[in-house]
């Protein structure tokens, strides 16, 4: 709710999901897609939410490809362990990490990451490339 109100890092939103550049992101142009309906287990996604997730994911990847053509990326689903699918404190989400920089000695040794672009700037560049406004409704 706070991210939606601020809109600084918000990319796109529809009735089921929001996408944003996370606060204090570790990597340039890192993005996160979060479901609005709370659940800890990705496997609980409803049929009606799958197309919605696909639309926002496509919008994220398309924008990324316009800024950084042919850059490899990782797409990671963070979900609760299958042995504990109903963790009330955990909210599943999808993370997109462009592979622009390497994690090296400094990052491994300190746990700090060097990110040359703020999430606010990244969100601005990513959304400017799309012809439609933030909402996908």
**52-93, pLDDT tens digit by residue?**
999 999 999 999 999 999 999 999 999 887 777 677 778 899
DSSP 8-class letter at 112: -
Letter string b/e over residues 76-106, b meaning 16 or more CB atoms within 10 A of that residue's CB: eeebbeeeebeeeebebbbbbbbebeeeeee
Give the mean pLDDT of 104-124. 88
pLDDT at residue number 52: 96
Helix (H) or strand (E) holding 109: helix 105-110
Top pLDDT among 86 and 122 is at: 122
* Residues, the chain: 137
- pLDDT of residue 137 exceeding 50, the answer is no
Q: Which residue has the higher pLDDT, 38 or 16?
A: 16
Q: What is the pLDDT of residue 87?
A: 75
Pairing of strands 73-78, 10-13: unpaired
Helix (H/G/I), strand (E/B), else coil: 17: strand
Residue 135 in this model has a pLDDT that exceeds 70: no
* Bridge partners of residue 17, in order along the sequence: 35
Q: What is the mean pLDDT of residues 112-119?
A: 88
Using the predicted structure, report yes or no on whether residue 136 has a pLDDT greater than 60.
no
Reply yes or no on whether the pLDDT at 15 is more than 80: yes
Per-domain residue ranges of the chain: 2-128
Quick check: 131 pLDDT over 60? no
Residue 118, pLDDT above cutoff 50: yes
**In sequence order, what are the residues at sequence separation of 6 or more whose Cβ sits closer than 8 angstroms to the Cβ of residue 23?**
9, 119
Residue 115, pLDDT score: 87
CA nearest 122: which of 27, 13, 16, 3? Answer: 27
Domain 2-128 class, CATH top level: alpha beta
pTM of the model: 0.82
The DSSP-derived string for 117-136 is: S-HHHHHHHHHHTSSS-SB-
């Amino acid at each position: 709710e706070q991210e939606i109100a601020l809109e600084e890092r918000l990319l796109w939103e529809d009735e089921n999901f929001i996408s944003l550049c996370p606060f204090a992101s570790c990597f340039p142009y890192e993005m996160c897609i979060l479901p609005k309906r709370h659940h800890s287990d990705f496997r609980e996604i409803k049929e009606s939410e799958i197309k919605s997730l696909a639309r926002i994911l496509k919008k994220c990847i398309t924008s990324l490809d316009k800024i950084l053509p042919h850059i490899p990326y990782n797409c990671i689903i963070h979900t609760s362990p299958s042995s504990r699918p109903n963790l009330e404190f955990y909210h599943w989400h999808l993370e997109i990490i462009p592979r622009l920089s390497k994690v090296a000695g400094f990052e491994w040794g300190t746990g700090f990451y060097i990110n040359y672009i703020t999430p606010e700037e990244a969100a601005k560049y990513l959304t400017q490339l799309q012809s439609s406004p933030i909402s996908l409704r």
